[in-house]
Amino acid sequence: MIRTMNLDFSDRNPELGALYGAHVEEICRRHDHALERAGASHAVIFSGAPKYAFLDDNTYPFRANPHFVGWAPLIRLPLSYIVYTPGEIPRLVYYQPHDYWHPVPGSPDGYWTSHFDIRIVHEVEEVASHLPESREKCILIGEVDDDYHAFGIDRINPTTAVNILHYARGSSKTGYELGCMRLAARRGALGHIAAAAAFSEGLPEFAIHQAYCEATSHADSELPYSNIIALNENGAILHYTDLEREPPADLRSFLIDAGGQVHGYASDITRTYSNGDERFSDLIAQMETLQQDVVSRVRAGVDYRDLHLHTHRLIAGVLIDSGLASGGADALLSEGVTSAFMPHGIGHLLGIQVHDVAGFMENESGATIDPPSGHPYLRLTRVLEEGMVLTIEPGLYIIDLLLDDLRGSPAESLVNWSAVDALRPFGGIRIEDNVRVRASGCENLTRDAFAELQ
């Protein structure tokens, strides 16, 4: 199966090439609209500048402006610019320094090149001659720490335009973006399969991480976010990114939250494994059923806030069935017990950014929708639309910092503290898939990728 499926992560992938032209047309349309509303004639999108560590000549890993990445699969091209004027072919000012200290970007090559008027420059000051002369008619979109990189453009990241671009980007993915994201799902799934095998061999977190990077062919700096590779109680630290070099004396559980990246588009996948303990295996199975129940409710028109609140009700059921709590679902919800066990949101939009833009946007004007009261960490509060890509990631953890807050309140008597003690050494459980919203139902990019690979 693996041999016949598309695992070409390069920018020569013909399937992506066939989808790219329509993507650029859509990006042009979004910019036409944004420019018109912003009262400007040209959009200048800056890829970004390398950032130096304090008092050092080393730079942090380069992360390109996501707006730039949305135009072209150029995630490693600092100090470059796209210049878009409605009705004209987009211009790409491609910075290729004469530099023998560092690798320099090669000659433009790949399915994207024919969609740009490419101007190669070797010095930053050469950029100026490729920008529209009337700088006052330009808007610049990008992170400008040094005025020099704005080349006299005053209107930087005007809210009107940025809101329009963000709203469109979060509301649906183009066919090309979906192609990248399906590949990113496969890339992540390759890593997860290798990591699960490394866990079953009893390897420490660091070695599991290496197995993941090897299988995905990702260097650390290319990962969409820092891998969470958590054995035993480390699984209860939501963003655990330490990597222990030694295996634990008693290996009980493994939570892995790790993604893949293709042309700047991310997958964001979590799985949890038991090392044989029956009760923990049963709890994972219950959470798996719960997660699939929530996924089955994803469709256009559903309010994601309702999905989040529904998940809390399901979590209450798992807490009762597993003996971790008692007293009925309503009490567990109202007394904050489910929030102590699942303190994060049920998911978020996904795309160029792992927590993609526009999760709170009510419309393109920038009005926002608040999360439900008592649920401040929910990052997506919108009614789902066809074409959105988002995560569904319920979790259940033993986080003493939160559970201790229940003591001395009416919630204390609802929690079975000896069951909590028994679960603590296993850390927690999260199961996370990436789904594309359809009119009725969804496409599960993650489960499809695993199915294709196994």
CA angle 186, 203, 285 (to 5 degrees): 60
Asked if 59 contacts 74 with a C-beta cutoff of 8 angstroms, the reply is no
Binder of ligand GLY out of 11, 177, 233, 393 (CB under 6 A): 393
Alpha helix stretches (DSSP H) within 140-277: 159-171, 175-200, 205-216
Q: What's the closest the beta carbon of residue 348 comes to Mn ion, in angstroms?
A: 6
Q: Does 356 bind ligand GLY (CB under 6 A)?
A: no
Minimum separation from the CB atom of position 139 to ligand GLY (A):
31
Considering beta carbons, is residue 71 or 341 the nearer one to ligand GLY? 341
Q: Which residues have CB under 8 Å from 306's CB, separation 6+?
A: none
Least distance from Mn ion to the Cβ atom of residue 25, Å: 30
Token pair of 100 as six digits: 């023998």
Q: Which is nearer to ligand GLY, 26 or 257 (CB)?
A: 257
Contact 404, 424 (CB under 8 A): no
CA 123/CA 381 separation, integer angstroms? 45
Question: Which lies closer to ligand GLY via its Cβ, residue 364 or residue 393?
Answer: 393
Site string for Mn ion, 10-49 (x = CB under 5 A): ----------------------------------------
Tell me if 268 contacts ligand GLY by CB under 6 A.
Answer: yes
Q: Which residues contact 285 (CB under 8 A, 6 or more apart)?
A: none
Residue 120 or 354 having the CB closest to ligand GLY: 354
CB of 348 to ligand GLY, least distance (A): 6
CA 327, 329, 330, 333 torsion: positive or negative? Answer: positive
Smaller CB separation from ligand GLY, 252 or 344:
344
For ligand GLY, the closer of residues 177 and 257 by Cβ is: 257
Bridge partners (DSSP) of residue 370 are none
Q: Is the four-CA dihedral 35, 40, 45, 48 of positive or negative sign?
A: negative
* Complex with ligand GLY: residue 206 or 225, whichever CB lies closer: 225
Size of the site for ligand GLY (CB under 6 A): 7
Strand 91-95, strand 117-121: pairing: parallel
**Distance (Å, whole) CA 319 – CA 429:** 13
Rounded least distance, CB 346 to ligand GLY, Å: 11
Q: Cβ(446)–Cβ(185) under 8 Å?
A: yes
The minimum distance between CB 432 and Mn ion, in angstroms, equals: 5
CB of 203 closer than 8 Å to CB of 248: no
Q: What residues between 423 and 452 interact with Mn ion by CB under 5 A?
A: 432
Q: Which does 225 bind (CB under 5 to 8 A by kind): Mn ion, ligand GLY, none?
A: ligand GLY
By CB under 6 A, name the one of 6, 17, 86, 225 that touches ligand GLY: 225
Residue nearer to ligand GLY on the CB measure, 67 or 344: 344
Q: Exactly one of 26, 177, 233, 257 binds ligand GLY (CB under 6 A); which one?
A: 257
226 lies in the site for ligand GLY, by CB under 6 A: no
Residues in binding contact with Mn ion, number by CB under 5 A: 5
Comparison of 108 and 188: residue with beta carbon closer to ligand GLY: 188
Q: Should residue 233 be labelled a site residue for ligand GLY when binding is judged by CB under 6 A? A: no
Scanning the structure block, which residue is given the tokens 């559903």? Answer: 302
Q: Return the percent helix, strand and coil in the chain, to nearest 5.
A: 40, 15, 45
β-partners of residue 323 are none
Of 252-311, binders to Mn ion (CB under 5 A) are 257, 268, 270
Closest-CA residue to 24 (of 179, 182, 174): 174
159-171 and 14-38 helices, crossing angle to 10°: 150
Report yes or no: 366 and 287 within 8 Å, Cβ to Cβ. Answer: no
Q: Is residue 433 part of the contact set for ligand GLY (CB under 6 A)?
A: no
**Using CB under 5 A as the criterion, which residues of the chain lie in contact with Mn ion when the complex forms?**
257, 268, 270, 391, 432
**Using CB under 6 A as the criterion, which residues of the chain lie in contact with ligand GLY when the complex forms?**
225, 257, 268, 348, 354, 393, 432
